[in-house]
Amino acid sequence: MELDESKYLYLLFILPVVAVLFLFNLYWKRKKQREFGDLEVIKRLSPERSVFKPFLKLTVLLLGLIALILGLVNPKIGTKVETVKREGIDIVFALDVSKSMLCEDVAPSRLEKSKQIVSQIINQLGNDRIGIVAYAGNAFPVLPITTDYSVAKMFLQSTNTDMVSSVGTSLDEAIKTSATFFDDKKTSKLLIMISDGEDHSEGAEAAAEEANKLGIKIITIGVGTEKGGTIPLKRNGVVESYKRDNEGNIVVTKLDAKNLEAIGKATKGGYVYGNNTKEVLEYIKAALDKIQKTEFEATQMADFQSQFQWFLGFGFVLLFVDVFFLERKTSWVNKLNLFNENK
């Protein structure tokens, strides 16, 4: 069972308030009766008045309120279990978060452009599982393989150039770390790498060949321009300076498509220029259509049905009964003298 609107459970605090008001009202009546005269005389003057009925009315009222509150909460009960089988592939997105990705030769920046591309690719996926890796000089696992696309997008937006402390870009580390995400040998595997191609390591192509042996296809997406640009260093959105090399010269970073093309070729994957998002999406879609889908997950899903109508109906019936519930003694109950009211 699950509660659809659990926030309404706070209304249950009304019940003790109603009970306290009832007891206070009862106390006030007794006090006034004592001021009017002797309680025993008053009882004889109203022989039909029941001492028990007011408490019974309170009980019915409280039960009615509880039923109405449960109706607002809308309990849901699973009535059917289905086996859901999915067919798709495992996809890992390796996102370059090195400082060069702050370059704004692609609007709004290489990194933000890369995030947009990944988000749009996720939007056109179906039943595929996805994971995210961020990398610079080292690689950092951001999100393991999952089918929850909304969570993936949340983690995607949180990626930034401060996630990985190591400077430079190591494409081979990104490939090696991404390869550890694929936990099912039978499922088709695709690694999508988004980068400006600048690589400060020498083993990217060798790492790609090892990935190919594991059955991992790599598609690389190049973000940036061949002309390149500077790397702005900002604080609170304001440019304070530009990144400089060890000799004090302003660094100019350029797109290096050759590295990315070599990686894609090593795994019989491919390379696509990423500045045009529409072209990237079409390229990825065509590539996905060619990859064999495999059944990778079978989950049992409970079909929950709302039960609020029963609680609301029962609650209104109890409140209706309470309204017409008189405080006089019931004749046949009075004859039983259960509470020793007759003397």
- Same domain? 289 vs 313: no
Count of domains in the chain?
2
pLDDT score of 334 more than 70:
no
Establish whether the linkage from the previous residue to 144 is cis, with ω within 30° of 0: no
- Greater pLDDT, 208 or 39: 208
CB atoms within 10 A of CB 248: 6
What pTM value is reported for the model? 0.63
- Assigned domain for 18 exists: yes
Decide if pLDDT at 332 tops 50.
no
- What DSSP state is assigned to residue 249? P
Residues 147 and 207 in one domain: yes
**Same domain membership, residue 315 and residue 255:** no
Give yes or no: residues 202 and 224 share one domain.
Answer: yes
Domain match, 182 and 54 both: no
- Residues 268 and 208 sit within 8 Å (Cβ to Cβ): no
Are 89 and 35 within one domain?
Answer: no
The alpha carbon dihedral of 13, 18, 19, 23 has a sign of positive
Domain that holds residue 169: 84-298
* pLDDT above 90: residue 12: no
Q: Which two tokens stand for residue 171?
A: 């494409």
**pLDDT, position 325:** 65
What is the pLDDT averaged over residues 204-222?
Answer: 93
Residue 342: inside a domain, yes or no?
no
First to last CA, the chain: 51
pLDDT at residue 201 in the model: 74
Task: Indicate whether 126 belongs to any domain.
Answer: yes
Stated as kind and residue range, the H or E segment containing 198 is: none
Q: Are residues 222 and 271 in the same domain?
A: yes
Quick one: 211 and 332 in the same domain? no
pLDDT score of 238: 86
Statement: residue 6 has pLDDT above 70: yes
Question: Is residue 341 domain-resident?
Answer: no
Residue scoring higher pLDDT (109 or 334): 109
Q: Do the domain assignments include residue 35?
A: yes
Average pLDDT of span 215-227: 94
Same domain, 163 and 285: yes
Tell me, yes or no, whether 323 and 279 share the same domain. Answer: no
Sign of CA dihedral 169, 170, 174, 180: negative
Residues 157 and 240 in one domain: yes
Return the SS3 of 189: strand
The mean pLDDT of the chain is: 82
CATH number of domain containing 233? 3.40.50.410
Is 149 contained in some domain? yes
Higher pLDDT, 331 or 278: 278
